[in-house]
């Protein structure tokens, strides 16, 4: 029988969770972290961004978990200039900035997030094929299905898939807010290999870079050529891919650095083979992962030589509940929101999974989902 946990974390012999420990919560010294931001800061942001500077905005709608309290102020810049202005304004007032990204690998605390929260707008969702040779620009009509409007506008129409020497290297650039799965599908439509494993991985290009997202033997690090972005004070900074020191589900982006675009180096391949690999990745993901319930993707990193989902299942925790959150019965490394779940509910299940797996298997599970905000 699956174990169950109540809101306080005690149930049927399951150990009570430890106090909340944030996996990613490093606020630089001297920066303002409070519910009350200077009115002048809000006025300055609104003067440039209008209603895209939103004090007290709930963050639940911006995360795939559909969980999270309010931001002190949420800003949604559409251009690099607007982003630079928001960062420089926050720096001038000594206020911390957090980049939310696509919200797919994050758990926002029930009390929300302090300071300025940045979520990149549609202007950062473009995919630029102009870095590719003329034959590789645009996409076949069938390949453009599923692209967002801003992404589709950046692709000139073409009558056929690209041709050329096998394994020819092709450079493309994607905005940090472009959906990783859409980029993968577009690349496959162009007959380009290197991202086909990413079909179905939720989240944005920027978030995928930060976490070095991957699956089935592929990962973002394998294809990153360079990164464009802004420093904490709004100054532009470009980085070569090798400077990011990628590791398993991590990268070494500078503190406070905000990614605006990523350039990928892909290779030309036989379109049928690339599409077959993408279809295989999609089928494996569809068969193994939960659907129809809000979730944040994999909760824990896989330990060396094993799988977090297997360890949680062996521990008897499939189906365990805390409030309206539940460990998926389809894949134990997923926690789903069954409607109205709180961040605290999810954290209870994470703590229970870590403790029980440690007691029964001697393995400590490291969170893959990022815990941010106030609890």
Q: Which residues are catalytic?
A: 249, 298, 368
Q: What is the dihedral of CA 181, 60, 371, 361, to 10 degrees?
A: -70
351 CB-near residues (< 8 Å, 6+ apart): 9, 17, 18
Structure-derived torsion over alpha carbons of residues 135, 140, 143, 148, reported in degrees to the nearest 10: 90
What whole-number distance in Å separates Cα of residue 346 and Cα of residue 326? 8
CB within 8 A of 248, min separation 6: which ones? 212, 301
Burial of 145 (0-12, 13-18, 19+ CB in 10 A): exposed
Query: In angstroms, rounded to a whole number, what is the distance separating the alpha carbons of residues 32 and 85?
Result: 18
Helices (H), the chain: 39-49, 80-92, 149-153, 180-189, 205-211, 271-288, 308-314, 343-361
C-alpha closest to that of 214 among 203, 226, 229: 203
């Amino acid at each position: 029988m699956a174990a169950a946990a109540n809101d306080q974390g005690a149930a049927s012999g399951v150990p009570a969770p430890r106090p909340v420990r944030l996996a990613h919560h490093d606020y630089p010294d001297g920066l303002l972290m409070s519910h009350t931001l200077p009115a002048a800061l809000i006025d300055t942001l609104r003067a440039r961004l209008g209603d895209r500077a939103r004090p007290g905005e709930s963050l639940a709608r911006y995360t795939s978990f559909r969980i999270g309290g309010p931001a002190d102020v949420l800003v949604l810049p559409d251009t690099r200039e607007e982003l630079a202005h928001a960062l420089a304004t926050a720096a001038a007032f000594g206020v911390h900035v957090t980049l939310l990204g696509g919200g797919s690998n994050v758990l926002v605390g029930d009390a929300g997030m302090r300071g300025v929260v940045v979520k990149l707008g549609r202007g950062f969702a473009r995919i630029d094929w102009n870095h590719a040779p003329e034959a590789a620009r645009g996409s076949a009509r069938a390949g453009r299905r599923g692209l967002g409007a801003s992404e589709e506008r950046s692709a000139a129409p073409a009558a056929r898939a690209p041709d050329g020497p096998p394994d020819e290297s092709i450079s493309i650039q994607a905005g940090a807010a472009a959906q990783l799965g859409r980029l993968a599908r577009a690349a496959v439509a162009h007959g380009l290999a290197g991202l086909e494993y990413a079909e179905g991985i939720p989240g944005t290009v920027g978030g995928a870079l930060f976490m070095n997202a991957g699956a089935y033997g592929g990962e973002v690090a394998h294809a990153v050529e360079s990164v464009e972005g802004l420093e904490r004070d709004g100054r532009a900074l470009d980085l070569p891919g090798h400077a990011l020191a990628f590791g398993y589900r991590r990268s070494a982006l500078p503190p406070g650095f905000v990614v605006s675009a990523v350039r990928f180096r892909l290779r030309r391949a036989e379109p049928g083979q690339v599409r077959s690999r993408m279809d295989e990745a999609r089928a494996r993901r569809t068969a193994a992962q939960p659907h129809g319930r809000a979730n944040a993707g994999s909760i824990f990193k896989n330990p060396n030589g094993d799988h977090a989902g297997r360890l949680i299942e062996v521990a008897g925790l499939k189906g365990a509940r805390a409030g309206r959150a539940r460990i998926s019965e389809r894949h134990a490394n997923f926690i789903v929101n069954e409607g109205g779940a709180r961040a605290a509910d999810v954290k209870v299940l994470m703590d229970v999974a870590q403790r029980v797996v440690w007691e029964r298997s001697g393995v400590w599970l490291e969170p893959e989902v990022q815990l941010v905000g106030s609890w």
